[in-house]
Structure 1
Amino acid sequence: MRPDGLPHKRPHFDNWQRSPPVSTEPPKPPEPLTGGVKYKLSDHCTLVMWKGDIVIWHVDGQTDAIVAPANKKVNAGLGINGAIHRAAGPRLADAGAKLPDMAPQGVKCVIGAAVVTRAFNLKVSRVIHAVAPVYQERDDASPRDLNSAYRSALELANREGVKYICFAAMSCGLYGYPYDEAAEIALTQCLRNHGDIREVHFVLKEQDYYDTWLDEAKRIFKC
């Protein structure tokens, strides 16, 4: 329950431990980007909100990066991460496999951290792979790790000279994070840690994600 007494906005797929049914239908074409609502993060940085498919987002192909909600082995998975890997092609997973291990058993990126690879068939220059947590209610690690995942992605983007970065709703959906809490963390980290980035974009595939991110942006930026 939120401090204002309202329930948290939960994902429709509550049982995140069980994978959704695998479809035999061919994948649908990417949904075009709509919206483009802008907010000012600082004198040099703009926040932009879109609804649609993150895989088609790009700016200049040189200083732009998509953030993939990655798993610890930085390979193809479900949801947005899987869509990014499909669009980028198999070389993205190959690049992830070649990253140095951060931990035993082939862990390429620990929870709350981020690593970077080329983007291959995507139109952006890089993919930043950030590992966000599975939501656990009454566990302080969940907000700590989600804050860390966003902060790590932004700090890595700045070190890489990225000027345009794009996020999805990390930890939502299958990972079970309440939309409003996740949006507050995401937007707060972008406000605090955008550094030299010129534009921070969010592409939200689901309408309820998009609406929640807009609501949280209006609250945080008081507009």
Structure 2
Amino acid sequence: MNYVCDRIHGAIAAIYPDIEQSATALNMHLSEQDLWFELSCCVLSSQVPYSLACAAAVEVRKARALAPDLELDVKACEGLLLSALSRPLSIAGKTRHYRFPKSKARQLSLAKSSILQNYDSLSAALASLDDAELARQWLVQKVPGLGPKQASMFLRNCRGEYDLAIIDRHVLGYMHIAGLEEIGSRPPIGYAGYLRSESVLRGHASAMGYRLGLFDYAVWITMRVLDPGMTSRDQVI
């Protein structure tokens, strides 16, 4: 094993027990409002910093556009969402604007309509889908703009699903360094591609004695704080 992997795995081993303990202690009984907030965060987080997505999701929650008891047609809901997503946001003392107000307003409006066509609420929909993989597939199908990575994040945040992976650029960078992905390979393409990468990472985590969803979180933390120069393939021995 090369020096870089040694350092990464040492860091992962050091923080994994704390991550496991924190995950065990989490309360996963979220309210309907909180579920929609988490879902909107995940939809809004595509191609923008997560802090900006969360700030935008706060405005969506204030507008109550996604509240099941607020009966709006798709167009009216979209208009309310567009207004919320167009507001200036204050983040770390700076004024920011969300990048994709129109497209995300449309996606969230369609998501609400799609989900409430068959269920009284998002919590009822999730309660009917016990299997994590089936729940993820359903979310990707029903929520426009939600890919397998974001759907996995939503289920982890809301149900404590730690048998699904969140494969972002940090985790993918680790997979390159660990030799799990070819050098220069692109992020997983499509659902099938995501499942292939997830299967590789699951086997790797299991071989090391880790649970997939806790392992990838430890990888994410480690890769974020690691010196970028050390993670370059040119530095791997």
TM-score, normalised by the number of residues in structure 1: 0.32
Higher strand share: 1
Higher helix share: 2
TM-score, normalised by the number of residues in structure 2: 0.30
Q: Which has the higher contact order (CA 8 A, sep 6+)?
A: 1
